[in-house]
C-alpha cells in the first residue's frame, strides 16, 4: 500500500515531512506574465509586480493531467483541493480520480472537497498524515478525516477584496465592505464552502479581536491553530499572542501565504484555520 496525500497550492503547504505528498499548482495570470504557484514562486516579488499593475488579472486551477501526475505511483490517495464552490480544482481532481482508477483498478482515491482553503486545508493534511502514520486502513482514514472535517474551520480578515470581486468570487457589494482604507472584512468559509462576510472592523486590533471572538463562538477551546498571512507577519504574531493570552496553551503555527492565497487575500490579509 503506497499512500499519498495531494493538495493544491491553495493550501500554502509546499512540502510535508514523513509522508509522500505533492501540491499541484494553481496559476496567477496577468497580461504581463504568468505565475506558477510552486515552491519557487517569489511571493514578495509577485505582490510588488501586482501592486504596479492595473490591467486584468486572474487565476486558473490545475487540470486533470496535473492531478493525475501528482497521483502517479501511489495506490491509496487522499486529495484535498480548494472549495469546489470557488474553483474548478476539485472537479478536476474528481475527474482525475475516475481516470486514475480506470488505469489502476486496484487503486483507491478519495477526494475531500475542503469547502475551504489555506490553513483549514493544512489542518486536514496534517490529520491525514497522522492517520496514515497510525497504520489505519484507507476506509478508516476516509471516515475519520470526514469526521475531523466537521471540526475544522476557517476565518479571515481582508483589507481588500478587489481581486476576489474582479474574478467573480464575491459580489462587488461584499467587496465594497473591505474597500475603504482601514476597514477589514472579517468572514468565514461557510458550511457550503463559500465566502461568508461576518463583520466590518476598523483597524487591525479590532479585526483580530473579532476573529478571536468568532473562534470562541464556533466552540474553540484549545487545539491546533494555523495562521497564514500575506506579507503581514506582525498581524499573524499578534493573532497568535491574543489566542494564547485568552485561550491558553494551543498548538499555533504561522506561515506565509503561497501565491493563490496571496493573490486573493491580498497584502495584509490573514487566514486562520482552527479545530473545535
Footprint on this chain of ligand X90 (rule: CB under 6 A): 26, 59-61, 82-83, 86-89, 116-117, 154, 156, 169, 189, 193, 195, 261, 264-265, 271
Cβ-closest residue to ligand X90? 87
Helix, strand, coil in percent for the chain, rounding step 5: 40, 25, 35
**Helix H or strand E encompassing 264:** helix 259-265
132: Cβ contacts below 8 Å, ≥ 6 apart = 3, 5, 19, 141
Q: Which of 22, 74 has the CB closer to ligand X90?
A: 22
Q: Which of 60, 237 has the CB closer to ligand X90?
A: 60
Comparing C-alpha atoms, which of 119, 127, 118 is closest to residue 148?
127
Strands 3-8 and 76-80 come out as: parallel
Q: Which of 74, 210 has the CB closer to ligand X90?
A: 210
Q: Which of 50, 271 has the CB closer to ligand X90?
A: 271
Least separation in angstroms between residue 248's CB and ligand X90 is 27
DSSP SS3 for 15:
coil
CA dist 162 to 50, 79, 179, 268, Å?
12, 30, 8, 13
125: Cβ contacts below 8 Å, ≥ 6 apart = 5, 7, 11, 13, 16, 21, 80
Least separation in angstroms between residue 24's CB and ligand X90 is 12
Least separation in angstroms between residue 163's CB and ligand X90 is 9
Least separation in angstroms between residue 98's CB and ligand X90 is 20
Comparing C-alpha atoms, which of 61, 93, 66 is closest to residue 77?
93
Distance CA 240, CA 226 (A): 9
Q: Which of 82, 175 has the CB closer to ligand X90?
A: 82
Q: Which of 30, 60 has the CB closer to ligand X90?
A: 60
Q: Which of 59, 142 has the CB closer to ligand X90?
A: 59
Distance CA 96, CA 63 (A): 9
Least separation in angstroms between residue 83's CB and ligand X90 is 5
Least separation in angstroms between residue 236's CB and ligand X90 is 15
Least separation in angstroms between residue 136's CB and ligand X90 is 28
Amino acid at each position: 500500500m503506497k499512500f499519498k496525500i495531494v493538495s493544491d497550492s491553495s493550501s500554502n503547504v509546499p512540502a510535508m515531512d514523513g509522508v509522500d505528498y505533492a501540491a499541484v499548482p494553481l496559476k496567477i495570470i496577468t497580461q504581463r506574465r504568468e505565475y506558477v504557484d510552486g515552491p519557487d514562486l517569489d511571493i514578495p516579488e509577485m505582490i510588488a509586480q501586482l501592486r504596479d499593475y492595473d490591467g486584468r488579472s486572474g487565476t486558473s486551477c490545475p487540470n486533470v493531467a496535473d492531478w493525475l501526475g501528482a497521483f502517479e505511483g501511489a495506490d491509496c490517495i487522499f486529495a484535498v483541493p480548494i472549495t469546489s464552490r470557488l474553483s474548478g480544482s476539485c472537479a478536476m481532481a474528481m475527474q482525475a480520480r475516475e481516470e486514475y482508477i480506470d488505469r489502476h483498478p486496484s487503486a483507491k482515491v478519495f477526494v475531500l472537497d475542503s469547502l475551504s482553503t489555506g490553513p483549514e486545508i493544512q489542518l486536514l493534511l496534517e490529520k491525514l498524515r497522522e492517520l496514515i502514520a497510525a497504520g489505519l486502513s484507507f476506509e478508516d482514514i476516509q471516515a475519520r478525516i470526514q469526521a475531523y472535517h466537521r471540526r475544522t474551520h476557517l476565518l479571515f480578515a481582508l483589507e481588500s477584496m478587489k481581486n476576489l470581486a474582479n474574478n467573480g468570487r464575491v459580489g462587488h457589494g461584499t467587496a465594497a465592505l473591505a474597500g475603504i482604507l482601514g476597514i477589514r472584512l472579517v468572514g468565514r468559509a461557510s458550511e457550503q464552502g463559500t465566502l461568508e462576510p461576518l463583520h466590518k472592523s476598523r483597524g487591525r486590533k479590532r479585526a483580530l479581536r473579532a476573529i478571536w471572538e468568532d473562534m470562541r463562538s464556533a466552540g474553540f477551546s484549545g487545539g491546533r491553530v494555523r495562521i497564514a498571512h500575506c506579507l503581514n507577519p506582525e498581524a499573524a504574531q499578534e493573532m497568535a499572542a491574543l489566542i494564547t493570552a485568552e485561550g491558553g496553551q494551543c498548538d499555533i503555527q504561522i506561515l506565509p501565504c503561497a501565491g493563490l492565497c496571496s493573490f486573493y487575500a491580498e497584502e495584509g490579509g490573514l487566514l486562520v484555520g482552527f479545530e473545535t
